[in-house]
Amino acid sequence: MGLACVSTGYFLSPFAFSTLTAVAVAGFLSGFAVSLRLAAASCVAIGLPWLIEASDRGEAARTTTQWAAELFLVGIVTSYARRISSDADEQRTAALDRMGRLGDANDLLYSLHQVAQELPSSLDLDEVLDSTMARLREMIDFDSAAIVLREDADDTWAVARRFGARLPETIIASDLPKPLLAASTSGGVISEPNLLRTGGPGLAARAGAGVYAPLRARGSLVGLLVIEHPDAFKFDSRDADLLGGFGEPAALAIDNARWFARLRTVGADEERTRIARDLHDRIGQSLAYLAFELDRIVRKNDRADPVGEDLAGLRSDVRGVVREVRDTLYDLRTDVSDEKTIEEVLGEFARRVTDRSGIDVVIRVDESARLPRLQERELWRIAQEAIVNAERHSESSRIEVFWFSNGVEAVAEVRDDGIGMPDGRVGRLDSYGMLGMRERAASIGATLSVDSVPRRGVTVRAALSGRS
């Protein structure tokens, strides 16, 4: 190119414009350094021979200077354009990379949202574990998985659920595989891409890769989530992030279910205590009376006094106690259910009370929707206790029972027209089964009030608010 220009008129040659193209291409492709060096080389290669040979060196110098300025300007502009283009490409690449990461994060958040929505609201531990395992299988491709729960009582780990591997039901803490032990002591997910070389063995005998997430709830370690696959490098960082995020709601659901199971055990013990107290209150005094009567009759017989009439009276008393025991057991077995509404149960119980005591029991019901069974059952037991108290202690001729429920709020009210409670005993925990009624009301968040007016009767009212 330089030779063509020198042989055909230097910078006055028609080929001189090709130097601009060369410098421009160099600037676009390689940047400032190459384009400016090429511009300088073109000026020297073409301008210097012209200055030596030209008859009018002034004109040659001016023209060469003009071309040098143009060449350097083209080099600078094209090189700057290249830099701008390069920066734009880098920004575009970075933007696309951020978009990709945001897309991955959005997918992960959506998956975690689905987890939070689909983890069962049930407090049954088996249902929670089954649902957790099923959701885990939908989210991640694995060959084997397990949910291992920590047993604080004896420092062991129970394999609560397993998939794709034969595992023992219980693992001693000292026998935990290395990756599970690491996950139990770390604050995050442990990912082992190649268990055959480092970090192994896994929980399953043929595991080649695994991800292990601690299940933490309320600051305590509940258990571990384990996924494994025979192929090394099967799981990536996305799987680890997904399992880590999945572990948080799963841990809360499992911990809630375990606590609820413990509360049910405590509740069963409390219910047995209530039943024992009911039997003592209702039957204990009668049995004590029979024992005193037997002692009296024995002493009378020792004195050779006639005891025929006393034995006949005792036989009648025993029959009464047997009848009372039968009624008490029947009352304890009577309960509301999905098939039996509280109106039906109240009606049956009212008829039995009327048959054995002659008291007129009137039932009024205003129910548009039923409560959850637990709440309905406790309110029924409160009403039952209040009716029995009125039957035994009020000396009333009429008992009115009112039941209201709209599915959220409820009221159970029992009112008698008897003598009322003695002064100073209204609301006392030891008066007429008040302790049991207050315990039942507190267990469902209801309020219990007892009002007594001398010679006008007692009103017991249990109210459940929709805010409870």
In this prediction, residue 322 carries a pLDDT of: 77
Nearest to 437 by CA among 446, 203, 210: 446
In this prediction, residue 27 carries a pLDDT of: 74
In this prediction, residue 430 carries a pLDDT of: 45
For 24-27, the CB contacts below 8 A with 24+ separation are 24/74, 24/75, 24/78, 25/78, 26/75, 26/78, 27/74, 27/75, 27/76, 27/77, 27/78, 27/79, 27/81, 27/82
**Cβ pair 399, 436 in contact under 8 A:** no
In this prediction, residue 267 carries a pLDDT of: 54
pTM value is: 0.42
In this prediction, residue 427 carries a pLDDT of: 46
In this prediction, residue 76 carries a pLDDT of: 83
Segments in the chain below pLDDT 50 = 118-121, 426-430, 432, 468
> What are 37-53's pLDDT values in tens digits?
777 887 777 777 777 77
In this prediction, residue 405 carries a pLDDT of: 93
> What are 222-259's pLDDT values in tens digits?
899 999 999 988 888 888 888 888 888 888 888 888 87
**Cβ pair 213, 243 in contact under 8 A:** yes
Q: Which residues pair with 403 in a beta bridge?
A: 365, 412
